[in-house]
Amino acid sequence: MCLIQRESPSYNYLDGHPIRIKRLAIARRIVLTRKAKEEVSSSRFISDEVIESIVNAPRIEKTLRSSAAGRSERLYVLKGKTFGNLLVYTKGKIVRDAGEEMFYILISSKRAT
């Protein structure tokens, strides 16, 4: 018999959202808004690096509440490194589109810090 004991993480999983966001990124169920696409292309990194940074993000840095069009939504800020060690800042939200969960990326850019 093999017993695996998981240590409790030192950070808050916020109802499993980091895991959900990472699974959506791995499954390529992400959508970049026009602004995020422009930022990605102007920063000279590719959407695969955005996925890498999401998967490598150790936690959600912060959760923001936004009221868009009269309804409240949660925005998640993640900071993670690509496999090439580039630190990327990503802000997005989890939405249901045509019955499927997607992670809409609103902003994704390199960080100087």
Q: What does 14-31 look like in DSSP terms, one character per residue?
A: TTTHHHHHHHHHHTT-EE
User: 61 burial class (0-12, 13-18, 19+ CB within 10 angstroms)?
Assistant: middle
Is 50 exceeded by the pLDDT of residue 1? no
* Statement: residue 79 has pLDDT above 50: yes
The CATH code of the domain that includes 41 is: 3.30.2310
* pLDDT score, position 77: 93
Q: Give me the number of domains the chain comprises.
A: 1
pLDDT at position 42, please? 73
Q: What are the φ and ψ backbone dihedral angles of 22, each rounded to 5 degrees?
A: -65, -40
Contacts of 103 (CB under 8 A, 6+ apart): 21, 24, 25, 29, 30, 31, 54, 92, 93, 94, 95
Residue 6 resides in a domain: no
Structural domain contains residue 10: no
In a domain, 40, yes or no: yes
Q: Is 98 within a domain?
A: yes
